[in-house]
Amino acid sequence: MMLRIAKTKVCLRNLTAPILWEGIKTQRNYSSGVKQMMVREALNSALDEEMAADPRVFLMGEEIGEYQGAYKVSKGLLQKYGPDRVVDTPITEAGFTGLATGAAYYGLRPVLEFMTFNFSMQAMDHLVNSAAKTFYMSGGNISVPIVFRGPNGAALGVGAQHSQCYAQWYGAVPGLKVVAPYSSEDARGLLKAAIRDPDPVVFLENELLYGQSFPVSDEVLDPSFTLPIGKAKIEKEGRDVTITAFSRMVDYALKAAETLEKEDINAEVINIRSIRPLDRSAINASVRKTNRLVTVEEGFPQHGVGAEICASVVEEIFEYLDAPIERITGADVPLPYATNLERMALPQIEDIVRAAKRVCYRSIPIAAAV
């Protein structure tokens, strides 16, 4: 079944077919109505619209067809587009990642689902050495328009081997673009942009966000809507401290900001959205205003996304800092299975609150308390 894909994709007619979204350039007027949409629905609608607009787009992964996806992100797409464009694969990440990467070399636009990004380790060679490096090694002659998507980071009680955050892993690789959506707007806009992008994009979702609903405007629901890769979003403006976060940690940062408001600390929360490229200018602009920085992520502390942000701020705008930077990360251990230990190993809202109070000199520093 997998090799059957090539039949329609090698046809020159398909490769030169008009791409509907390329023609959507006109300005539109949108109503102010706001609807609720779950993250999985936002992802599903983005896949559906991009498949309808571009015959080169196809899906591949384990249980994405007949079972409609482990998290129902691909629900209804097999029935609509057929098995040539929604391809169930065996449990062989190395095999189907290599096949999809080769299809991208040929001009197709595969969207590859890992049931969890922990399984992408089986396909690391194709992802890092083939997809990420080919454009450079071919002298710019071979583009690799492929999306690697699936749940990333900790869920609940799934153990150390299924709970890792790969933002810092793939964020270190030249040739990859890496995004981590938080809201339904993020998920829909960034996935559509990723599918249209000429380069390989690692799309890090979160299992615990799939069923969460967010408000979306008519503009977000328009088929032409995309979000630019490489641009952060200020989720909440503030003046006293900058808090950066991505994926599920944005929710924690916003809740921490609500708590801080009660103590007259006005925090600015930045949803990074894009791990690579990183929107350094947005972060720097915020820190110039607040003069303080707390970074939040659930991954390991060493060589993390927060560490890169800290280095960037110190290198570029050190003179604006009025306090040491605080990093909130997961513990430097394999994630425990036991519920109580798992909670202790992951960032919590109270951790962010305490860090923000420390940089605002509203609590006793850790070093002084020891």
DSSP assignment, residue 101? Answer: H
Residue 175 belongs to domain spanning: 35-221
93, 268, 308, 326: the active-site residue: 93
Q: What is the dihedral of CA 172, 173, 178, 180, to 10 degrees?
A: -30
User: Which tops the pLDDT comparison, 25 or 165?
Assistant: 165
183 and 126 share one domain: yes
240 and 177 share one domain: no
> Which of residues 197, 221, 245 is at a domain's end?
221
Q: What is the pLDDT of residue 364?
A: 61
> Which of residues 221, 246, 266 is at a domain's end?
221
Q: What is the pLDDT of residue 365?
A: 57
Q: What is the DSSP string of 9-45?
A: HS-HHHHTSPPGGGG--S-------EEEEEHHHHHHH
What is the average pLDDT across 69-90? 96
- Place 34 in a pLDDT band, splitting at 50, 70 and 90: confident
Q: What is the CATH number of the domain that holds 320?
A: 3.40.50.920
> Which of residues 168, 196, 221 is at a domain's end?
221
Q: 227 pLDDT exceeds 80?
A: yes
319 counts as catalytic: no
Number of folded domains that form the chain: 2
3-state secondary structure of 288: helix
126, 162, 298, 342: the active-site residue: 162
Instruction: Report the alpha-carbon distance of residue 265 to residue 20 in Å, rounded.
Output: 48
Task: Please write the tens of the pLDDT for every residue from 309-332.
Answer: 999 999 999 999 999 999 999 999
Task: Please write the tens of the pLDDT for every residue from 41-57.
Answer: 999 999 999 999 999 99
What is the average pLDDT across 218-230? 96
Q: 259 pLDDT exceeds 80?
A: yes
Q: What is the pLDDT of residue 369?
A: 52
Residue of 144, 132, 139, 149 whose CA lies nearest to 107 = 144
Q: What is the crossing angle of helices 39-53 and 184-196, to 10°?
A: 30
Q: What is the CATH number of the domain that holds 55?
A: 3.40.50.970
Q: 2 pLDDT exceeds 50?
A: no
176 and 244 share one domain: no
148 and 240 share one domain: no
Q: 173 pLDDT exceeds 90?
A: yes
**Percent of the chain, pLDDT > 70?**
89
Instruction: Report the alpha-carbon distance of residue 272 to residue 333 in Å, rounded.
Output: 25
197 and 249 share one domain: no
What is the average pLDDT across 346-358? 97
162 counts as catalytic: yes
What is the average pLDDT across 67-83? 95
Looking at the DSSP assignment, which residues form a beta bridge with residue 57? Answer: 109
